[in-house]
């Protein structure tokens, strides 16, 4: 394997951003930041603690007094400045995403460009939105919800942060962000961008630290009125429990086990390579990964042949190498978990079409997993039920359209679903019966103005567009 590790010096990440200033955290615990491509240490990250968190909450609370009263035009200008400052640092952000997370170049560029654009999307949404309406005989004023605590995961750091900060700013809220401790390099770039955007001190604060320390302090604080979280369903439930005492508003974007239904009239030559891409997106570490492929029983042999051929074309390796489309998993922990899932698929009797346990040859130094496809998967198997968060596809079969829908909905999750068909009306009819917050028909495209969020245990609330903005507003009726 061609490696680039000698070019990465070990950096210290020891700043928090509180009240418009970069500060050295009071917390002293230091954790390693590791390059997942070779598992070499590339950073030493100082964890902020409860005292830092309280300072950030205090700054955001103070700033809310004035920022909540600011005009729509002023907030639109803030969103423009945030966009410009993030866009200006695009190269750094892309490099950080590749080095620290292992995203292939195209993915790193696409996801970070989208992160910058999100600020412009919300500038437009705010511009078109009536913050004061007449309803019945009342004046209804849409007021900012308050100080927002933001928690984000490591698999889509800038995007997960932008999709929360942008509507919060649009609404007139102030924020305390706690990014993943595994995203310190991307966080450092974003902190610089937030500072340069020049919003009033305390409007945006960033506290880097551990979930159980910084996260718990934010979740329990009576001065935080809303939590916006992207992460695992397990932690989402914990946050919801803690938030109850202070009746916080919640947006929870959680896990998924998304179904991809191939209807019997679909063009398999298009649909199956697309299905592989939909499952292996972001190195398979995507909450929207289409990890259950549901195909007509009598087309299984052809599906297996096409899936295997599509996987064989994938170029896996150092994400900094041109043409690589599949990189390593983000951590050794994640690698081990995915190995366990692959092992369980084999032990439970699923048919291994391609891939399997262990590292791909020549990629033993990093957290690389063999891109894997299982066929003859049954609904009771672990690989059909659990979110694996790696490049592992499970193929299930159906006899009738009704059975396909039943299999698709047989999950505790409901984030997103995919349908392929030659008949758009038929596909739409099927889409209407799927319990998912978003259904993609014959496409993997993203609509930034459409709502994004989950049914069932995939979450509460929606992000994106007008639905996303409303999550940060409280309606107040003024009567008489």
Q: Does 217 participate in binding ligand NAD (rule CB under 6 A)?
A: no
Note if 217 is an active site residue.
no
212 binds ligand NAD (CB under 6 A): yes
Q: Is 387 near ligand NAD (CB under 6 A)?
A: yes
Residue 397 CB, nearest distance to ligand NAD (Å)? 26
CB of 180 to ligand NAD, least distance (A): 4
Nearer to ligand NAD, 208 or 421 (CB): 208
Q: Does 255 bind ligand NAD (CB under 6 A)?
A: yes
- 315 — phi, psi (to 5°)? -100, 110
**Toward ligand NAD, which CB reaches closer, 64 or 389?**
389
In angstroms, give the least distance from the CB of 439 to ligand NAD: 15
Instruction: Name which position in 46, 97, 152, 325 contacts ligand NAD (CB under 6 A).
Output: 152
Considering only the stretches 132-140, 153-161, 187-195, 299-307, report the one whose residues sit in contact with ligand NAD under the rule CB under 6 A: 153-161
Order the strands of the 459-460 sheet from edge to edge. 21-23, 16-18, 204-206, 174-178, 147-151, 226-230, 249-253, 459-460
Rounded Cα gap, residues 474 and 468, in angstroms:
13
Determine if 417 is a binding residue for ligand NAD (CB under 6 A). no
**The dihedral formed by the CA atoms of 80, 229, 293 and 114, expressed in degrees to the nearest 10:** 10
Considering only the stretches 74-82, 208-216, 263-271, 367-375, report the one whose residues sit in contact with ligand NAD under the rule CB under 6 A. 208-216
Nearer to ligand NAD, 218 or 430 (CB): 218
- Check binding of 185 to ligand NAD (CB under 6 A): no
Which of 239, 281, 306, 354 is the binder for ligand NAD (CB under 6 A)? Answer: 239
115, 185, 235, 469: which one binds ligand NAD (CB under 6 A): 235
CA dihedral 272, 278, 279, 282 (to 10 degrees): 140
Q: Which stretch binds ligand NAD (CB under 6 A): 48-56, 224-232, 341-349, 377-385?
A: 224-232
Cβ count near 385 (within 10 Å): 16
Q: Near ligand NAD by CB under 6 A, which window of 151-159, 186-194, 294-302, 395-403?
A: 151-159
Partners of 205 in the beta sheet? 176
Interface residue with ligand NAD, options 287, 338, 363, 383 (CB under 6 A): 287
Catalytic residue among 100, 181, 253, 386: 253
Site string for ligand NAD, 437-476 (x = CB under 6 A): ----------------------x-----------------
Ramachandran category for residue 282: left, alpha or beta (phi over 0 → left; psi -120 to 50 → alpha): left
Neighbours of 232 (CB within 10 A): 15
Q: What is the DSSP string of 136-177?
A: TTEEEEEEE--EEEEE--SSSHHHHHHHHHHHHHHHT-EEEE
Q: Which two tokens stand for residue 414?
A: 């409901």
Q: Is the dihedral of CA 114, 471, 128, 437 positive or negative?
A: positive
Q: Quick one: tokens of 49?
A: 């603690």
Site string for ligand NAD, 299-338 (x = CB under 6 A): ----------------------------------------
Figure out which of the listed residues 151, 194, 280, 335 binds ligand NAD, where binding follows CB under 6 A: 151
Contact 204, 119 (CB under 8 A): no
| CA atoms of 450 and 452, how far apart (whole Å) | 6
CA dihedral 383, 386, 390, 394 (to 10 degrees): 30
Q: Looking at residue 42, what DSSP letter applies? A: E
Kindly identify the residues of this chain, within the stretch 155-184, that bind ligand NAD according to CB under 6 A: 155-156, 178, 180-181
Among 25, 153, 355, 366, binds ligand NAD (CB under 6 A): 153
Q: Is 215 in the site for ligand NAD (CB under 6 A)?
A: yes
Query: Order of strands across the sheet with 132-135?
Result: 132-135, 138-144, 473-478
Q: Which residue has the tokens 């993943």?
A: 180
- Structure tokens belonging to residue 371: 């891109």
List of residues contacting ligand NAD (CB under 6 A): 151-156, 178, 180-181, 211-212, 215-216, 219, 230-232, 235, 238-239, 253-256, 287, 387, 389, 415, 459
So which residues are the catalytic ones? Answer: 253
């Amino acid at each position: 394997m061609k490696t680039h590790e000698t070019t990465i010096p070990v950096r210290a990440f020891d700043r928090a951003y509180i009240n418009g200033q970069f500060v050295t955290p009071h917390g002293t615990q230091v954790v390693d930041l590791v390059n997942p491509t070779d598992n070499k240490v590339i950073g030493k990250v100082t964890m902020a603690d409860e005292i830092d968190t309280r300072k950030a909450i205090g700054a955001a609370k103070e700033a809310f007094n004035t920022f909540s009263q600011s005009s729509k035009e002023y907030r639109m200008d803030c969103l423009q400045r945030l966009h410009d400052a993030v866009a200006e640092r695009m190269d750094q952000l892309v490099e950080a995403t590749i080095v620290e997370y292992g995203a292939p170049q195209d993915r790193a560029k696409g996801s970070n460009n989208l992160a910058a654009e999100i600020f412009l999307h919300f500038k437009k949404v705010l511009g078109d939105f009536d913050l004061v309406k007449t309803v019945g005989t009342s004046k209804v004023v849409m007021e900012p919800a308050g100080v927002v605590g933001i928690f984000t995961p490591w698999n889509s750091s800038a995007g997960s942060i932008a999709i929360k900060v942008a509507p919060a700013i649009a609404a007139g809220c102030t924020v305390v962000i706690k990014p993943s401790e595994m995203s310190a390099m991307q966080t450092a770039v974003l902190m610089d961008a937030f500072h340069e955007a020049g919003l009033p001190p305390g409007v945006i604060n960033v506290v880097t630290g551990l979930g159980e320390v910084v996260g718990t302090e934010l979740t329990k604080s009576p001065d935080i009125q809303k939590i916006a979280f992207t992460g695992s369903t397990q932690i989402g439930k914990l946050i919801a429990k803690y938030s109850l005492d202070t009746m916080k508003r919640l947006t929870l974007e959680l896990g998924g086990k998304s179904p991809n239904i191939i209807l019997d009239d679909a063009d398999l030559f298009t649909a199956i390579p697309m299905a592989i891409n939909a499952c292996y997106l972001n190195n398979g570490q995507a909450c929207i990964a289409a990890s259950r492929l549901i195909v007509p029983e009598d087309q299984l042999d052809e599906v297996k042949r096409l899936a295997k051929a599509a996987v064989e074309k994938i170029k896996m390796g150092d994400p900094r190498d041109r043409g690589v489309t599949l990189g390593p998993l983000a951590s050794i922990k994640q690698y081990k978990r995915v190995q366990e899932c692959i092992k369980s698929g084999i032990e439970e009797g699923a048919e291994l079409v391609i891939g399997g346990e262990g590292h791909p040859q020549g990629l033993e130094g990093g957290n690389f997993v063999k891109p894997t496809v299982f066929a003859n998967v049954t609904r009771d198997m672990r690989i059909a039920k659990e979110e694996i968060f790696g490049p592992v596809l499970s193929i299930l079969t159906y006899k009738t359209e009704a059975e396909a829908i039943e299999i698709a909905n047989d999950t505790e999750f409901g984030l997103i679903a995919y349908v392929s068909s030659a008949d758009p009306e038929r596909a739409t009819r099927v889409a209407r019966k799927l319990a998912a917050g978003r259904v993609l028909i014959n496409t993997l495209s993203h609509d930034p103005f459409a709502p994004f969020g989950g049914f069932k245990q995939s979450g509460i609330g929606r992000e994106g567009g007008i639905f996303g903005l409303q999550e940060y507003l409280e309606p107040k009726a003024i009567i008489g």
